[in-house]
Amino acid sequence: MDHLAEIEDMLAQAKLRVTLSRLLVLDILNQAPGELAAWEIEQQLLNKQKKMNISAIYSILKTLEYKGLVQRFKVAGHHAYFSLNKSIGLVKCRCNVCAQMQHMDEALLQQCIVQYCEAAGLKLKSYSTLIDVICQKCSQK
Ligand SMILES: [Zn+2]
């Protein structure tokens, strides 16, 4: 149960009360290989014999996002996707057709963002970008 202790720690640091629902949602996001939509979280909870209302899941995600524990990605015309906020920046490409996620080499992009913020006198806290693409495989079909 070490991983749950780690999650309790995250909640404590964000000054959030540790509740079973928050633990469950964070645990699922923590073990996910990529972003999850709220309905995917609901499905995984069901697989663990835990039933949670989708609006309750959204409300938990909103709180976690507000506290900076979770990042939200929104692509026009799609569901929002959520992932655990582990680093300052995250840039991913998501295929419009097969929904496959790809990390992007973001060193150059990060440099631009950092420089932009410095020039504009902004204190950079974090960034997240989801880029809507059609992957190589799908574009060949
Ligand atoms: Zn694709």
CATH topology (fold) of 1-85: Arc Repressor Mutant, subunit A (1.10.10)
Q: Give, as residue ranges, everything with CB less than 5 Å from ion ligand 1.
A: 95, 97-98, 135, 138
Q: Which amino acid is at 107?
A: A
- The reported pLDDT for the residue numbered 77 is 73
Judge whether 117 is annotated as a binding position: no
CATH 3.50.50.60 for domain 87-141, yes or no, is no
Q: pTM value?
A: 0.61
Q: What is the pLDDT of residue 107?
A: 66
Per-residue pLDDT, 88: 59
d(CA 35, CA 22): 17
Output the CA angle 86-125-27, nearest 5 degrees: 25
d(CA 76, CA 97): 14
Q: Give distance in angstroms: CA of 68 to centre of ligand 1.
A: 30
**Per-residue confidence (pLDDT) for residue 2, from 0 to 100:** 67
Res 93: pLDDT: 85
Quote the ligand 1 centre to 96 CA distance (angstroms). Answer: 7
Where in the chain are the domains? 1-85, 87-141
Structure tokens, 40: 């995917």
Distance 84 CA to ligand 1 centre (A): 24
pLDDT tens sequence for the chain (141 residues): 567 888 888 888 888 999 999 999 999 998 887 789 999 999 999 999 999 999 999 999 999 988 888 888 876 677 788 988 765 566 788 899 998 887 666 667 777 888 898 899 998 777 778 889 999 999 997
Residue entry with tokens 């998501």: 94
What is the per-residue pLDDT for 45?
Answer: 96
R_g (Cα) of the chain, nearest Å: 17
Identity at 96, one-letter amino acid code: N
